[in-house]
Amino acid sequence: MNSSDFDDFLDITKDQCPITFLKASLKLEEMNIGAVLKIHLNDGEPFNNISRTLKKDGQQIISSSSLEDGSKIIYVKKLVETLSE
């Protein structure tokens, strides 16, 4: 994805699970269907949990990439109006 191919950005590199997922879910709730959220997060548990749960909730992970500092960027397209319980 190009650096401008997203509608909103969320940096959760300083947060821990489950706050990371809650912040991502709440941000997506504010967005319109079809919008793309760029999320900057840590690799490992945050990346795995958020990717898995957002997919389970019906959202689309468009792409992900690793940065030099070991963190990740994922692009999530909002497809449905749900909040995981």
In the sheet that holds 60-66, the strands lie side by side as 8-11, 36-42, 71-77, 60-66
| pLDDT tens sequence for the chain (85 residues) | 555 789 999 999 999 988 999 999 999 999 999 999 999 999 999 999 999 999 999 999 999 999 999 999 999 999 998 654 4
pLDDT at 23: 95
User: Residue 84 has which token pair?
Assistant: 């995981």
Residues, the chain: 85
Q: Please, how many CA atoms are within 13 Å of residue 10, restricted to the half-sphere of its CB?
A: 24
Q: Which CATH class is domain 8-77?
A: alpha beta
pLDDT at 2: 59
| Per-residue pLDDT at 17 | 84
Domain ranges of the chain: 8-77
Q: How far apart are CA 68 and CA 44, in angstroms?
A: 15
Q: What is the pLDDT of residue 53?
A: 93
